[in-house]
Structure 1
Amino acid sequence: MSQVLHTPPPTQTPVRPPTGHDLTALAARHGLSVSGARPSLPEYVRQLWARRHFITAFATAKLTAQYSQAKLGQVWQVMTPLLNAAVYYFIFGVLLGTKRHVPDYVPFLVTGVFIWTFTQSSIMAGTRAIAGNLGLVRALHFPRAALPISFALQQLQQLLFSMAALIVILLSFGVPVAASWVLAVPALVLQFTFNAGMSMIMARLGAKTPDIAQLMPFVLRTWMYVSGVMWSIDKITHSDHLPHVVTVLLQINPAAVYIDLMRFALIDSFHSSSLPPHVWVVATGWALLSGIGGFIYFWKAEETYGRG
C-alpha cells in the first residue's frame, strides 16, 4: 500500500510555445496574410488609380467644407492670399522700398503669394494627412497615399478658383493677355507633382512624429523669405556681395523656380533674362525627384500607418 502511495507521477513533456516561424508557416498553409500588408509598388499604383474618383471627391468635399462655418464662405479662398499680399506690399513694397526695383510690383507680388500659398498649404495639409485622419485610416482599407495626394489636389483646386482674382488683378494693372499665359499649365502641372511628393513625405513624417506639424509653420515661413515671394531673386543674385554657392541655392530653390515660371508666363515685364539658368530642366527635376521619391518613401511605410 505504501509503495503505491509513494510512486512518483509520470513525467510530462513541457509544451513548447509556437515560434514566429511556426506561426508564419501555419498562416501560409491556410492562406492567411498580414492585415494591411504593403503590396508591391506596381500593385500599389494600380490600387491608387482604381480609387482616383475617391481622391477627387474627397478633395472637393474638403475644399467645400473648409470655410463652411464662415459667413463669407468660399470667398475666403481668394481673400486670404489677397490680404497676405496687402500686408507684404505695405511692409516690403512701401516701408522697405522693394517695389522701386521691380516692374509691375503688384502683379509680381500677388502672383508670388498665390503660387507660394499653393506649396505652403499642400505641405501643411500633407503633414496632418495621416495623423489627422486616423479614424478613416483605421476603419477602411485603401492605399494611404490617397490622403496626401487628395490634400494636394484640394490646394490645386483652391488655387485654380483663386486664379480668377489673379487674372483680374493682372488686367487691372495693365498686364495684357499674351500667348505666354499657356505656359502656366505645364508650370502648374510640375508644381502640383512637386507639392504632392512633398505632401507624401511630410505625411509619413507627421504620422510618426505629430509634433512636426507644430514646427512646420516656422520652417515654411523661413522658406518663404528666401523664395523671392516679395522681392526679386534676379536682382539680388546679380549683385556681387553674395557668395556663389548662395546664388546657386537661391536660383535652384524649388519654390522660387515655380514662382518665377508663373511670373514669366503671366507678366509681360518679367522677361526670360530674369529666370535662373535651365529653369524648365530644374523645375522638371524637382517635380520628378519629389513626386517619385516622395511616393516611394511613403509607400515603404504603408503598413505602419494608423498603428500604435
Structure 2
Amino acid sequence: MSQVLDTPPRRDPVPEPEREVTPAELAARFNLSVSGARPSLPAYVRQLWSRRHFILAFSTAKLTAQYSQAKLGQLWQVATPLLNAMVYYLIFGILLETNRGIDDFVPFLVTGVFIFTFTQSTVLAGTRAISGNLGLVRALHFPRASLPVSFAIQQLQQLLFSMVALVAILIGFGVYPALSWVLVLPALALQFVFNAGLALIMARIGSKTPDVAQLMPFVLRTWMYASGVMFSIDRVLKGHDLPAFVHVALECNPAAVYIDLVRFALIDSFHADQLPSHVWAVAVGWALLAGVGGFIYFWKAEEKYGRG
C-alpha cells in the first residue's frame, strides 16, 4: 500500500503553444499582395499607357476649366502670354534697350516668352500635381504619374493656342512661313519630354514638401533671366570676357537651347551661327536625362503618394 502511495501521480504532457503565423506567411499561403505596392517599371509603363485616355481627358478638362469663370473665357489662353510679352518689351526692349543689334526683336522676344512659359507653367503645375490632388490620389487606384504627365499635356495644349498668336505676330512683322518652320515640331517634342520629366521630379518633391511650391516662382524667374528670353545669349558671350564655365552654362541651359531652336526654325534673321555647337544633341540629351530620369525618380516613390 505504501508503495502505491509513494508513486507520483501521472501527468499528461503540456502541449507546446502554437507558433503565431506571420502576416507574410498568411499572404503567401493565400496568394495575397500588398495593396498599393509599387509595380515593376515595365508593368508601371503598361499601366500608364492603359490610362492614356484618362490622362488626355483630365488635361483637356483642366484646360477648359482654367478660365471658365472669366468673361473672355479661353481667349485668356492667348491673351496672357501676349500681355507678358508686351510687359517685357516695354521694360527690356524700350527702357533697357536690349533690342540693340537684334533683328526682328518683337518676334525674337515673343518666341522666347512663349517657349519659356511652356516650361515654367509645366514645372509649377507639376509641383502641385500630387499635393493639390490628394483627394483623387487617395480615392482611386491609378498610376500616380498620370497626374504630372496630364499637367504637362495641358501646358502643351496651352502652348498650341499661343503658337497661333505667335504665327500672327511673325507674319505681322514680315516673317513669313518657310520650310524651316517644320523644325518646330521636333524641338517642341523634345521640350515636352524635358518638361514632363521636370514635372515628375517636382511632383515627387512637392508631395513631401508642399512649401516648395512657394519657392519655385523665384527659382523659375531667375532661370528665365539666364535663358536669353529678353536678350541674345550669343551677343552677351561675344561682347564680354566671361569665364569658360559661364559660357558652357549659358549655352547648355536647357531652356535657352529649346528657345534658340524654335527661334532658328521660325525667324529668318536668327542664323545657325547663333546656336550653340551640337545644339540638337544637347536638346536630345536634356530630354532623355529629364524624361527618363524623372520618370524613374517618380516611380521609385509610387507607393508613398497620398500616405501620411
TM-score range, shorter chain: over 0.9
Change (3 A) 1:18 1:262: farther
Aligned to 1:217: 217
Aligned to 2:3: none
| Matching of residues 1-308 of structure 1 within 5 Å | 22-308=22-308
Change (3 A) 1:98 1:31: same
User: What is the one-letter code of the residue matched to 1:130?
Assistant: I
Secondary structure of residue in 2 paired with 1:99: coil
> For 2:51 and 2:63, how far apart are their aligned partners in 1?
19
C-alpha deviation, 1:15, in angstroms: 7.9
C-alpha deviation, 1:17, in angstroms: 9.7
> For 2:277 and 2:62, how far apart are their aligned partners in 1?
38
C-alpha deviation, 1:239, in angstroms: 2.5
> For 2:19 and 2:162, how far apart are their aligned partners in 1?
63
Change (3 A) 1:13 1:198: farther
> For 1:264 and 1:206, how far apart are their aligned partners in 2?
35
Aligned to 1:5: none
> For 1:85 and 1:125, how far apart are their aligned partners in 2?
21
C-alpha deviation, 1:18, in angstroms: 5.6
Change (3 A) 1:33 1:169: same
CA deviation string 1:221-245 (max 9, x = no partner): 0000000000000101112421111
Change (3 A) 1:111 1:17: farther
C-alpha deviation, 1:198, in angstroms: 0.3
Structure 1 alignment gaps of length 5 or more: 1-11
> For 1:106 and 1:284, how far apart are their aligned partners in 2?
28
> For 1:61 and 1:13, how far apart are their aligned partners in 2?
66
Aligned to 2:5: none
Secondary structure of residue in 1 paired with 2:100: helix
What TM-score, normalized to structure 2? 0.93
User: What is the one-letter code of the residue matched to 1:166?
Assistant: L
Secondary structure of residue in 2 paired with 1:101: coil
User: What is the one-letter code of the residue matched to 1:305?
Assistant: Y
Change (3 A) 1:236 1:37: same
User: What is the one-letter code of the residue matched to 1:104?
Assistant: D
Secondary structure of residue in 2 paired with 1:268: coil
> For 1:117 and 1:13, how far apart are their aligned partners in 2?
74
> For 2:16 and 2:292, how far apart are their aligned partners in 1?
53
> For 1:140 and 1:183, how far apart are their aligned partners in 2?
40
What TM-score, normalized to structure 1? 0.93
C-alpha deviation, 1:33, in angstroms: 1.3
User: What is the one-letter code of the residue matched to 1:81?
Assistant: P
User: What is the one-letter code of the residue matched to 1:146?
Assistant: S
Secondary structure of residue in 2 paired with 1:238: helix
Secondary structure of residue in 2 paired with 1:76: helix
User: What is the one-letter code of the residue matched to 2:118?
Assistant: F
> For 2:214 and 2:131, how far apart are their aligned partners in 1?
13
> For 1:300 and 1:31, how far apart are their aligned partners in 2?
24
Q: Which runs of 4+ in 1 moved over 4 A?
A: 12-19
> For 1:13 and 1:60, how far apart are their aligned partners in 2?
67
Secondary structure of residue in 2 paired with 1:103: coil
Aligned to 2:10: none
Secondary structure of residue in 2 paired with 1:39: coil
User: What is the one-letter code of the residue matched to 1:186?
Assistant: P
> For 1:171 and 1:124, how far apart are their aligned partners in 2?
31
CA deviation string 1:96-155 (max 9, x = no partner): 111112110000000000000000000000000000000100011000000000000000
Secondary structure of residue in 1 paired with 2:99: helix
> For 1:148 and 1:304, how far apart are their aligned partners in 2?
16
Higher-Rg structure is: 2
> For 2:138 and 2:31, how far apart are their aligned partners in 1?
23
> For 2:166 and 2:17, how far apart are their aligned partners in 1?
75
> For 2:207 and 2:161, how far apart are their aligned partners in 1?
30
Number of residue-to-residue matches in the alignment: 295
> For 1:83 and 1:101, how far apart are their aligned partners in 2?
24
Most deviating of 25-34 and 97-106: 25-34
Change (3 A) 1:30 1:83: same
